[in-house]
Amino acid sequence: MIKYADLSNQVYEQLKAMILSNQYEPGQKLLQEKIAAQLGVSRTPLHKAFQMLENEYLVESIPRRGIYVKKVDYNQIYDAFECREALESVAARRLAENHTSEQIDLLKGFFTPFMNANIDINVDKYRKADELFHKQIMIMSGNSILGRLEVISNILVRTYQKGLVRPVSETLHEHFEIIDAIATGNGDLAAEMIAKHSRAARANIQQMLSK
């Protein structure tokens, strides 16, 4: 699939990056005219971009009022993790049952940098690796739907913003356990390992909710 230099898409990418990097405040209104001027385009391609963002739960459109950056509430994060747990299990199972050694290497590659450096891990880089790892499993699963459910991956990014992360000391070796399970071809095991991984994160969120 060839990406086209379509203005709507460029605007979408730009706004998405800005929202996910917190350059827009959650709850903030996105003024069409202003953004159009900033990006040097008219309001027309913005409409499509906003619609894309709304479908990914990144903004909310209130008709005749405007577009607002979605606030991330813990309940929704919890819900997303619940979905992610189920869907990643499907993905991991499929991938375990049908993969190449190159794919395994790719997955391992995300985390090997953090294995060697036995001191001070760059947390931002680790988060990025984590994001790519989970996204990549979905894509490589071969299930055409899984690779395109942006809702799930976006929520993960926003979770990072909230600081809802487990210590690297716990997750790093879990990631390798998941990869190993996939590599052995044991679908059930791979599904269970990744579900366990997600459940632990979900437990953290539940703690936040009960406070």
Partner DNA sequence: TCGCTGTTTTTTGTATACAAAAGTATCAAT
Partner DNA sequence: ATTGATACTTTTGTATACAAAAAACAGCGA
Instruction: Please report how close the Cβ of residue 73 comes to DNA at its closest, in angstroms.
Output: 22
Question: What residues make contact with DNA under the rule CB under 7 A?
Answer: 6-8, 29-33, 40-45, 47-48, 61, 63-67
146 binds its own copies, rule: CB under 8 A = yes
Residues 8-21 as b/e (b if ≥16 CB within 10 A, e otherwise) read bebbbeebbeebee
Which amino acid, one-letter code, is at 54?
Answer: E
Q: Which C-beta is closer to DNA: that of 14 or that of 32?
A: 32
Residue 66 contact partner, candidates its own copies, DNA, none, CB within 5 to 8 A by sort of partner: DNA
28 binds its own copies, rule: CB under 8 A = no
Which ranges of 56-186 would DSSP assign to H, the alpha helix?
74-97, 101-116, 123-140, 150-161, 168-184
By CB under 8 A, what part of segment 42-101 binds its own copies? 44, 47-48, 51-52, 55, 57, 63-64, 75-76, 79-80, 82-83, 85-87, 89-90, 94
Half-sphere exposure of 156 (CA within 13 A, CB side): 23
What letter would DSSP give residue 69?
Answer: E
Instruction: Please report how close the Cβ of residue 54 comes to DNA at its closest, in angstroms.
Output: 11
